[in-house]
Amino acid sequence: AQSVSQHNHHVILSEAASLELGCNYSYGGTVNLFWYVQYPGQHLQLLLKYFSGDPLVKGIKGFEAEFIKSKFSFNLRKPSVQWSDTAEYFCAVSSGSARQLTFGSGTQLTVLP
């Protein structure tokens, strides 16, 4: 069975700081990788996705993520965070053609103004 680990449960940053959230998965086959964001009181929204090709993917709101196959990692980055980035971030993986998403436990990001 596949699993997803997010190492940081709560990250606190000041505005303009750089962000990197870790995500590791365990699955040996072909995977699809996702980052979702859940802003306070809102529904889960897709931030970015990786299916194949260029391992560096860009998403909405200036976020990007890098897929490193050898490390089974898909870390999320943003060069300069804003107060509005305060939210919970979830890494998720699906394998092959399966539509079932396996989520990490989430990282709560708090950005101080």
Partner 1 sequence: KAGVTQTPRYLIKTRGQQVTLSCSPISGHRSVSWYQQTPGQGLQFLFEYFSETQRNKGNFPGRFSGRQFSNSRSEMNVSTLELGDSALYLCASSLPGQQNIQYFGAGTRLSVL
Q: How far is the CB of 34 from partner 1 (least distance, A)?
A: 8
Q: In sequence order, what are the residues at sequence separation of 6 or more whose Cβ sits closer than 8 angstroms to the Cβ of residue 109? A: 11, 12, 13, 19, 21, 81, 85, 86, 87, 88, 89
Q: In sequence order, what are the residues at sequence separation of 6 or more whose Cβ sits closer than 8 angstroms to the Cβ of residue 68? A: 55, 74, 75
**CA distance linking residue 48 with residue 46, whole number of Å:** 6
Binding mask 46-85 for partner 1 (x = CB under 8 A): x--x-x----------------------------------
State the burial class of residue 78 (Cβ atoms within 10 Å of its Cβ: 0-12, 13-18, 19+): buried
Q: Tell me which of 3, 18, 45, 82 binds partner 1, using CB under 8 A.
A: 45
Nearer residue to partner 1 within complex by CB, 8 or 32: 32
Q: How far is the CB of 79 from partner 1 (least distance, A)?
A: 25
Q: How far is the CB of 55 from partner 1 (least distance, A)?
A: 17
- 44 near partner 1, judged by CB under 8 A: yes
Nearer residue to partner 1 within complex by CB, 1 or 113: 1
Residue 106, phi-psi category: left (phi > 0), alpha (psi -120 to 50), beta (remainder): left
- The contact set with partner 1 (CB under 8 A) reads 32, 34, 36, 42-46, 49, 51, 90, 92, 94, 98-106
